[in-house]
Amino acid sequence: GGSILFKRIDGRIDDILKLSEDELIRIRGREISMIFQEPNAALDPLYRVGDQVAEAILSHRLSEMLDRAIESLKEEIKNGNGGFSSKLQLWAYNEMKKNPNALKLRLMRKLPIIGKIISKKLNQVVRDEIIGLLRLMEIPDPERVVDSYPHELSGGMQQRIVIAIALACSPLLLLADEPTTSLDVTVQAQILDLITRLKERFGASIIYITHDMGVIAEISDRVAVMYAGNVVEIAPVIELFKKPLHPYTKALLEAIPRPGASFKSIPGTVPNLVNPPSGCRFHPRCPYAMPKCRKEVPELQRITKEHYVACHLYGGEDHGEHSNSD
């Protein structure tokens, strides 16, 4: 009975769970995109980097690329530089604008020579777009990298390619799943800095999935803490670090290694999600657990304007905070 509401580019608000597969295909990569955890697993080793970025562009921005190619061809013909090849491409692109899957176009593109001619200008326009995108990713020598295979690039460069693919269509929402886990510390910092700057440039919202509290402190505006599949606390990042409410959030912050201090781990073990604990899933490990915690699942309650917690130790906004929480 749940729902996932998403505000589309045109302003409509749709429930993602009720959309058809065709509608989801139009959203994926165009309005919602993803940066994966392992770049060498996300990239296809058999295809050049440029081809993989081009796939994202041609899937959602074909009409835009055709318009650029058409304008370039018109300029060539106007200046007397366009012969039969330019006129054939111009005709083909205008037909593609009407119907990209027209039978006559598909048949012509299968002819070796004609197909190569038809694709020439469009390929050039897309390649220029990709090189510009790689330059935005701060990739040195993008003209060379665009023709490289993933295995020829470092882990940091591979992750920049994955980010380029994710941002190729200027999505509204970017999901970043531990995008720096497999990288060394120096490259991690570079990638985080890049993502932060690109967020401002592209105007995208980012949901950053991570277990690294240092990363959260550095790049987040708002944090949702999850335990065993449930959201237990939501707060602005500064408020969460200064005044954590949920016992699990407190335990997480106390477990951060500090120079000169002994390491403090969270007692107990992570629950089996096939057969999770009843009530609050954290109660077997919680030092403040009450009988109620074992029986009732706590609801997410608003404690302050932007701070929510799912814990029986606290009342809602109208009830104030539980005085025995510390």
What would the pLDDT profile of 55-76 be if each residue is shown by its tens digit?
999 999 999 999 999 999 999 9
The residues, any chain, with a CB within 8 Å of residue 274's CB and separated by 6 or more, are none
Length of the chain equals: 326
| pLDDT value, residue 10 | 85
195: pLDDT strictly greater than 60: yes
Neighbour-count burial of 28, counting CB atoms closer than 10 A to its CB (0-12 exposed, 13-18 middle, 19+ buried): middle
Question: For residue 77, what are its two tokens?
Answer: 């013909």
**Tell me, what amino acid is at 280?**
C
| pLDDT value, residue 261 | 81
H-state helical runs in the chain: 21-27, 39-42, 49-60, 62-78, 84-98, 103-110, 112-136, 142-145, 155-167, 185-202, 213-219, 237-242, 247-254, 291-295
| pLDDT value, residue 318 | 46
| pLDDT value, residue 238 | 96
Q: What is the pTM of this model?
A: 0.84
The residues, any chain, with a CB within 8 Å of residue 2's CB and separated by 6 or more, are 17
| pLDDT value, residue 246 | 97
CB atoms within 10 A of CB 108: 16
Q: For 242-272, write each residue's pLDDT tens digit.
A: 999 999 999 999 988 888 888 888 999 999 9
| pLDDT value, residue 317 | 53
| pLDDT value, residue 323 | 40
Which of 160 and 319 is assigned the larger pLDDT? Answer: 160
Average pLDDT over residues 176-190: 86
Could you give phi then psi for residue 120, rounded to 5 degrees?
-55, -60
The residues, any chain, with a CB within 8 Å of residue 253's CB and separated by 6 or more, are 213, 241, 244
Give the closest residue to 158 by CA, choosing from 144, 171, 139. Answer: 139
| 238, 276, 301 from 226: Cα distances, Å | 18, 14, 15
Q: For 284-312, write each residue's pLDDT tens digit.
A: 999 999 999 999 999 999 999 999 999 99
* CB half-sphere exposure, 135, CA atoms < 13 A: 7
Average pLDDT over residues 122-149: 96
Question: Are the C-beta atoms of residues 151 and 144 closer than 8 Å to each other?
Answer: no
Which of 100 and 85 is assigned the larger pLDDT? Answer: 85
Share of the chain above pLDDT 90, in %: 66
**Tell me, what amino acid is at 316?**
G
Question: For residue 164, what are its two tokens?
Answer: 């380029």
3-state DSSP assignment of residue 220? coil
**Tell me, what amino acid is at 238?**
I
Q: Rounded CA gap, 77 and 272, in Å? A: 68
321 pLDDT tier (thresholds 50, 70, 90):
very low
3-state DSSP assignment of residue 277? coil
Share of the chain above pLDDT 70, in %: 96
